[in-house]
Structure 1
């Protein structure tokens, strides 16, 4: 029997695990256009920017961090202050086990409490596991930016999804 996943607000002590999981996402080429793994200094600076409304949550199983999710600034324009961008990463061994659903559900409650009314996300059209999660949680596809970025010297499309909270 699998143990329960607990979701909580991230602390600075979680930075090493957040970095480890993020770097897995970069290496696996399924979740971000980033191609170079990050270091502790990068993640510490990122974490400092994610305080207050732009929170970071971690998921734990048996006291081990196995995933994280964050609300990110969507735009500096004041008209978009109620819109957050989503990041969510699950460690390789824990993907497809409901960790993402637990994180996303908690993050949506946190977003509402922080006066966000909408979450947007950008995903790859080939990331079927991610899309299953997002659709299950009520996100809808808005469209696809064709050749939005370059990864490994190849143009790559990026799908936009959204959810009104």
Structure 2
């Protein structure tokens, strides 16, 4: 297994866009933030195949509860391919990313998760994400036509037809001198 930081171009390719001008506003937002260094695209590969990904945003100017650019960072789009789950790979990827953030001086990390995502909630609790910050009804990284955060169909349960529950924003660490 190889864990590494990947490029904005690789992200665009993974999202199946061959040209930035044809990409969705959300893909453009991720791309621009990776290119500028505000976001990091982490990948996990096995035999050259992408089996996991996790994005880190250092700053979310729309809502500093998520990431403030100095002490708090936001994790999103955390995925491990189904056939590789249950092997501790998600934990390895998360540990690598958290160690990198700690080395960069971040003391607090946030992640959004829906209450119905029981496996993710358990993993996040094991990783130290225990403090619920707030309920959320919009994804801070899903962009509308004006490049502002917008509800993303079924990404946050509060926007789905099958659920009226909001997602929750959890944090890890957060106290002065606390180590996550």
Q: Work out whether the TM-score is over 0.5.
A: yes
Q: CA contact under 8 A between 1:6 and 1:61: conserved in structure 2?
A: yes
- Cα drift, residue 125 of structure 1: 0.9
Distance (whole Å) between structure 2 residues aligned to residue 94 and residue 58 of structure 1: 14
1:159 aligned to 2:159?
no
Q: CA contact under 8 A between 1:146 and 1:156: conserved in structure 2?
A: no
- Cα drift, residue 100 of structure 1: 1.2
Alignment length, in residue pairs? 142
1:85 aligned residue (64, 74, 82)? 74
- Over aligned residue pairs, what C-alpha RMSD do you find? 2.9
Q: CA contact under 8 A between 2:12 and 2:31: conserved in structure 1?
A: no
Output the TM-score relative to the length of structure 2.
0.65
Distance (whole Å) between structure 2 residues aligned to residue 110 and residue 93 of structure 1: 27
- Cα drift, residue 111 of structure 1: 1.0
1:10 aligned to 2:6?
yes
Give unpaired runs (5+ residues) of structure 2. 17-21, 139-157, 174-179
1:130 aligned to 2:114?
no
Distance (whole Å) between structure 1 residues aligned to residue 3 and residue 49 of structure 2: 11
- Of 43-52 and 117-126, more deviation after overlay is shown by 43-52
User: Structure 2 matches for 1:92-131, cutoff 5 A?
Assistant: 92-131=82-121
**Partner of 1:150 in structure 2?**
159
Render the CA deviation track for 1:12-38: whole Å, top value 9, x for unaligned.
453266437xxxxxxxxxxxxxxxxxx
Render the CA deviation track for 1:29-50: whole Å, top value 9, x for unaligned.
xxxxxxxxxxx72335512312
Greater share of helix: 1
Output the TM-score relative to the length of structure 1.
0.70
